A and B are shown apart, each in its own frame.
Chain A
Amino acid sequence: MTDLDYLKLSKPAKIGYDFLSFLKRIPMGIVRGVQKLFRSIWHIICLFGANVKDVIMTFVNGDWKTRISFLIMGFGNCARGQWLRGILFFLFQTVFNLYMFNFGMPYLAKFSTLGDIPTTKKGRVTVYGDNSFFILLYGILTIFFILAFIYTWRVNVRQNKLGQKYLKEGKRLQTGKEDLQSMADEQFHKTLLALPTLGIFTFTVLPIIFMILVAFTNFDYEHQPPSKLFTWVGWDNFHTLLSSGGANYGDTFRQVLFWTLVWAFFATFLNYFMGMLVAIMINKKGIRFKKVWRTILVMTIAIPQFVSLLYVSKMFAADGLINGTLMRWKWISEPIPFWTNAHWARFTVILINLWIGIPYLMLIATGILMNIPADLYESARMDGANAIQMYMKITLPYMLFVTGPYLLTSFIGNINNFNVIFLLTQGKPLSMELAGNAGYTDLLITWLYKMTVSDTNYKIAAVIGILVFIITVIINLVVYNLMPSVKNEEDFQ
């Protein structure tokens, strides 16, 4: 198809065509991805080889200071007068050695089995054995520590090489004071990023890797260390979660996944269009008290969600305000099952989410609507367009164009929208037809939470987490691959 043919297509046909060509690109994309993977592996091998060569050459060409530094880190730095760097290197090596011999090695040695001697009680005496949890956690930590050590050692070798070279060339080496000064100047990013990186590593990276590995173990209520150890089980948990029949969770998983996607769709797009509509109404010329309307709506953002959502959830309860009032007025004879009927509950959740979401979208849309060039509307009005046409042809495309990335993040955010569901329904109504304590309004994320807190079924929780991650990645990839065609039109550039 030529570009001209493409431009002749109608809007839906264009989207269809984009989608088909995206599907066609998938095999090529996979091939390219694999190629890229191999290339980067090869690149890493080359890099490794170059590094090894450089290390050997440094040793061969090095003087005695350099050579001793291979064993005692920082020796060369100190010998050449760079005391600060040298002492830091040496300290790191000491800490590493102490850690490895006293702490790291025993844990790492049991990493392949996650321990085999459970803690038992002989009479009144507790005989302490292994603890799979700590073996796994500290095993990962130790592996990272070893990698960090290798890297630091490599830096140490390079510093010696450079130091030796500079001195031979008659240059002066940076003193400790200058080092410190550069930490506030050229190397300022190291100062700025040191603490955040450490935090992200310890409290995000390490736990995530830990949980990914838990998905391949049998860590659950029956295997709680230290008295009952857990161990590696391969892909069993994925099998349990994805296949149906017996004690497997497959049917429930599909049910929950389906509702998660439906929910994310409505929560994103319904809020989006309604919020935009409200923003247009408030911003219309001739409407007064704009600020008042806006402030009233924004109240729902300001008030903490646990107050407003918990209160609203009680309003809709069987004995709550709404049912009570309607019954007193004799409009209904028995309470509407807002939270006890699956369909009602799903509907109510989406409805109340509008209450939460519209103000937010209204704020965003207001900012963007003001940026739409007024002459676009002016010329449309000259051509005799009415309000609806102007909305469809100018406002909506402009908004979609500008907020495309926002829609994506918002969709992903709604897949993980824990607060609204949990504070309103806790995933209820529950059902015998659903396994693993899931309810009809449970999202994957609230199900994961239940698995963790009430069922202590950590292995399945970990698998759900990984699947949510995979879903997120797929949606991101698909949208970003479809986006260029949106951008090509450049309607508003």
Chain B
Amino acid sequence: MTTKKTSIPEVDIEIDQEKGVIREVKTEKYLRSKKNHEKHVNRSIYTILVIMSIIWLAPFVFLVLQSFRSYLTESGGMVDYVIPHHFSLDNYRYLFQDGMFFRWYGNTLIIALVCAVIQTCMVLSVSYALSRMRFRGRKLFMNVVLVLGMFPGFLTMIALYFLLKQLGLTQEGAIPGLILIYCASSGMGYYISKGFFDTIPKSLDESARIDGASRALVFWKIIMPMSKPIVIYTIMMAFMAPWGDYVFASYVALGRAESYNVAVGLYRWVNTNDYQGYFTRFCAGGVLVAIPITLLFMFLQKYYVEGVTGGAVKG
């Protein structure tokens, strides 16, 4: 019997004639060098990741640290050190006593909660209709929304402001006014949830309809329970957006401090209101805003990732 295996050590391969393949021989030396290389690469990746984590976390850590610097006994403005000389809760005490901040906080919370409900209903009903039903004007609706989306958002700001003013929903009425604006056109953001509905097999609808269920019943009893991820994603997005809106909120409230949301109020503290003195109070306010939002986000991160990737892939 001839040898079945020919080994060629110079290049670490062997020829297996029985099976007719050329195979890599994993010599000890090769394996060791590979392992070393791997270790080396991993170590540098860890280094990069640690540095990145520091860069990414630093501003937030600084924000929290500076919020503990008293504006009474130390400087309330910007200083060139991070760790306060004395930890104090003066800034937080100010926020609780001043009242204005909690007014802003409450305003934003109300807007966010109402928007979360209304926007979700709007988005889901539009995407269900466009995904499951075929009717005249469906393509037209989608094309019109596509074209409207290409106009820059702030173009219509003046017109919207005067529309709201006609309805008495600016300044004192800024809160319902803002809710109206946020919710009215929210149906245009149907893309991601429509993409999700499209993946639910249509045969489910049809079999239910053969059994005599109406469209509305199918929507409530079949599609909704299956769409938990996208419902949560939509609620989450609608709830989080109002917390960050500065532009429109400041325009609609226009100098009426009781109607500000947190973004407008804190922006004023930093940029127009003698920010040297208000800087640490801004930090404290920022911390109070960021904590609930961040916790919410962390708990629902899974759904966010699903929505974002789904949206990116489908375009």
A: residues with CB less than 8 A from B are 133, 137, 181, 184-186, 188-189, 191-193, 195-197, 199-200, 202-208, 210-211, 214, 278, 281-282, 284, 286-287, 293, 295-308, 310-312, 314-315, 317, 319-321, 323-325, 327-328, 355, 359-360, 363-364, 366-368, 402-406, 408-409, 412, 416, 418-419, 422-423, 444-445, 448-449, 452-453, 458, 461-462, 465, 468-469, 472-473, 476
Contact = CB atoms under 8 A, between A and B. Distances in A.
A158 to B, nearest CB: 14
A196 B122 contact: yes
Given A207-B156, A302-B298, A363-B308, 11 more contacts: A137-B163, A195-B125, A197-B187, A199-B186, A287-B46, A293-B53, A310-B282, A363-B309, A419-B246, A453-B157, A465-B152
A187 to B, nearest CB: 8
B130 to A, nearest CB: 8
Interface in B257-315: 263, 266-267, 270-271, 275, 279, 282-283, 286, 289-290, 293-294, 297-298, 301, 304-305, 308-309, 311-315
Given A193-B141, A284-B45, A304-B293, A199 B184 contact: yes
Interface of B: 38, 41-42, 45-46, 48-49, 52-53, 55-57, 59-60, 62-63, 78-82, 122, 125-126, 128-129, 133, 135, 138, 141, 144-145, 148, 150-160, 162-163, 180-181, 183-188, 214-217, 219, 240, 243-244, 246-247, 251, 263, 266-267, 270-271, 275, 279, 282-283, 286, 289-290, 293-294, 297-298, 301, 304-305, 308-309, 311-315
Contacts of A472: 150
A474 to B, nearest CB: 10
B297 A296 contact: no
Contacts of B314: 405
Contact of B216 (A188, A196, A205, A304): A188
A419 to B, nearest CB: 7
A321 B155 contact: no
A306 B246 contact: yes
Contact of A364 (B157, B183, B312): B312
A327 B80 contact: yes
A473 B150 contact: yes
A324 B267 CA distance: 23
Given A211-B156, A308-B60, A452-B157, A188 B309 contact: no
A302 B184 CA distance: 25
A191 B220 CA distance: 14
Contact of B82 (A319, A321, A458): A321
Given A205-B148, A287-B46, A458 B158 contact: yes
Contact of B301 (A205, A298, A323, A422): A298
A296 B266 contact: no
18 contacts: A181-B214, A184-B217, A199-B183, A200-B145, A202-B184, A214-B159, A286-B38, A297-B56, A310-B271, A314-B270, A327-B80, A364-B308, A403-B312, A412-B150, A448-B155, A453-B157, A453-B251, A458-B158
A101 to B, nearest CB: 20
A203 B243 contact: no
Contact of B244 (A284, A306, A366): A306
Contacts of A469: 150-152, 155
Given A188-B216, A367-B305, A409-B315, A449 B154 contact: yes
Contacts of A300: 56
Nearest to B191: A409
Contacts of B184: 199-200, 202-204
A314 B279 contact: yes
Nearest to A291: B301
B304 to A, nearest CB: 8
A310 B270 contact: yes
A311 B286 contact: yes
B305 A445 contact: no
Contact of A304 (B49, B163, B215, B244): B244
A202 B181 CA distance: 10
Contacts of B313: 367-368, 402-403, 406
Q: Please indicate which of the listed interface residues B187, B219, B312 has the most CB atoms of chain A within 10 Å of its own CB.
A: B312
